C-alpha cells in the first residue's frame, strides 16, 4: 500500500457550508400561508378535517407556552413584565396563562397578595383582565383556564364577581371603567349563562389533551339532545 504523500500544509481545507438562517418574520409568514391553505382545503368540502383545524388553537397555546418557557430561562431570562408587554396582557395574566400548569387554575396573585384588604380598583382590574369578552373565548384571556360546559367564569372571576358586585356602589366611577360587555356581564349574570350556552354550542368538543374541570359545573344541569 503506497504511502500518503499529501502535504496537509499545502492542501486547502474544504470550506464549511454556511448554515442557512431563516428570519423569524419570514418563518411567521410561511406558517400563516400554510394555515390559510389548510383552511381553504377544509372549506373545499372536507368537513371531517374541521375538527382537526379547530384543534390547532390548543396546539398554538401549547407551543406559545413552550416558547415563553424558553424565554424565561437562561441565557435570556426575560421577566414576566417584558413577556406580558409583547402579549398585551398584565404580568399576572401572563404568568398564570403561560407559567406552570398549576398556576393556570390558581387565583390571580393580586387577590392572594391583597387578601381581605383587596381594593375595589384591584377587583375591577382583575375582573377586566379575566373577562372572556364578546364574542366569548373558549379560554380565559387572563389565566388560560378552559371553561367547562355551562361555566362562564374562571376560578379567579368566580371569586371576584360576587365581591365586585357587592362593593360596586363604593365607587361607581371605578366600576364604570369596565368595558361595556364586562359591565353588563357583572350586573346581568343571566346573560353570562346565555353566553356560556352559546360557547358550548360553538365548541362542543374540547381539546383532548386537556382535562375538563368540573369544580364549577352547575348542579342539576342537563344536556340537550344534540339531535333535538
Phi and psi dihedrals of 146, rounded to 5?
A: -85, 120
For residue 124, which of 175, 167, 61 has the smallest C-alpha distance?
175
Q: DSSP per residue over 126-193, as a string? A: HHHHT--TTTTPSB-TTT-PBPPTT----HHHHHHHHHHHHTGGG-HHHHTTS-HHHHHHHH-HHHHH
Question: What is the pTM for the complete model shown?
Answer: 0.48
Residue 191 in this model has a pLDDT that exceeds 80: no
Tally of residues, the chain: 228
pLDDT exceeds cutoff 60 at 117: yes
Q: Is the pLDDT of residue 215 over 80?
A: no
The rounded percent of the chain whose pLDDT value lies above 70 is: 71
Q: Report phi then psi at 117, rounded to 5.
A: -90, 20
pLDDT class of 101 with cuts at 50, 70, 90? low
Q: What share of the chain is helix, strand, coil (3-state, %, to 5)?
A: 55, 0, 45
Q: Are 151 and 196 in contact, with CB atoms under 8 Å apart?
A: yes
Q: Is the pLDDT of residue 38 over 70?
A: yes
Q: For residue 55, what pLDDT is reported?
A: 83
If residue 110 lies in a helix (H) or strand (E), which one and from where to where?
helix 109-114
Q: Which three cell numbers stand for residue 4?
A: 500518503
Q: Residue 58: pLDDT above 80? A: no
Give the C-alpha separation, 213 to 153, whole Å. 12
Amino acid at each position: 500500500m503506497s504511502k500518503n504523500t499529501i502535504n496537509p500544509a499545502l492542501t486547502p481545507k474544504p470550506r464549511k457550508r454556511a448554515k442557512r438562517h431563516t428570519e423569524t418574520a419570514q418563518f411567521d409568514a410561511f406558517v400563516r400561508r400554510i394555515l390559510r391553505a389548510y383552511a381553504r382545503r377544509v372549506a373545499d368540502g372536507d368537513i371531517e378535517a374541521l375538527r382537526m383545524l379547530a384543534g390547532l388553537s390548543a396546539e398554538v397555546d401549547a407551543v406559545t407556552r413552550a416558547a415563553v418557557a424558553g424565554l424565561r430561562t437562561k441565557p435570556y431570562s426575560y421577566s414576566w413584565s417584558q413577556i406580558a408587554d409583547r402579549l398585551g396582557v398584565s404580568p399576572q395574566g401572563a404568568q398564570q396563562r403561560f407559567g406552570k400548569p398549576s398556576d393556570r387554575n390558581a387565583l390571580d396573585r393580586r387577590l392572594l397578595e391583597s387578601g381581605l384588604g383587596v381594593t375595589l380598583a384591584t377587583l375591577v382590574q382583575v375582573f377586566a383582565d379575566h373577562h372572556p369578552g364578546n364574542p366569548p373565548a373558549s379560554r380565559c384571556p387572563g389565566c388560560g383556564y378552559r371553561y367547562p360546559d355551562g361555566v362562564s367564569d374562571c376560578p379567579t372571576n368566580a371569586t371576584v364577581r360576587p365581591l365586585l358586585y357587592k362593593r360596586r356602589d363604593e365607587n361607581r366611577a371605578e366600576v364604570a371603567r369596565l368595558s361595556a360587555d364586562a359591565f353588563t356581564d357583572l350586573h346581568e349574570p343571566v346573560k353570562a349563562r346565555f353566553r356560556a350556552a352559546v360557547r358550548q354550542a360553538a365548541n362542543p368538543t374540547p381539546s383532548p389533551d386537556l382535562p375538563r374541570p368540573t369544580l364549577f359545573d352547575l348542579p342539576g344541569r342537563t344536556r340537550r339532545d344534540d339531535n333535538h
